[in-house]
Amino acid sequence: MSQYNMKKEPVLFSAGTNRKKRHKATQKTSPLCIPNGVLMHVQEILTEHAWKRMAQRGLSITDIAATMMFGSFYHGKKAEIIVVGKKECRHAKYNIHFLQGIHIVLKQGRIVTTYRNRTVQLRYRS
């Protein structure tokens, strides 16, 4: 995986300017910081198929790491899915609305694929 740029310092997110005006008390201004160790771990568990899908869908390694940190975990029949939905965005300490709708599919501890679907309709199964 030496072809990918490995940064030594943590990556800071800024979601850009928010065009909607919100009350100052509800604004979340803290930057989202992802440690380098988390990024390296995510790079290790990505499959080649997941790398291709990330490139096709415009998702970065930091988007995937943040989704794994803040998303909800669901068990499917043959895989696990991590999702960032409206509820996670609303209750997060940071402004993570740009992550809303990202899904990560895990199978046997590896990231198989990633995609963005704004309508999250997964239900918990026991």
Question: pLDDT tens, 63-117?
Answer: 999 999 999 999 888 999 999 988 888 888 888 888 999 999 999 999 999 999 8
CB 66 within 8 A of CB 76: no
Secondary structure letter of residue 99 according to DSSP: G
Give me the residues paired with residue 73 across strands: 82
Instruction: Give the tens place of pLDDT for each residue, 22-56.
Output: 444 444 445 678 888 888 999 999 999 999 999 99
Q: Which amino acid is at 51?
A: W
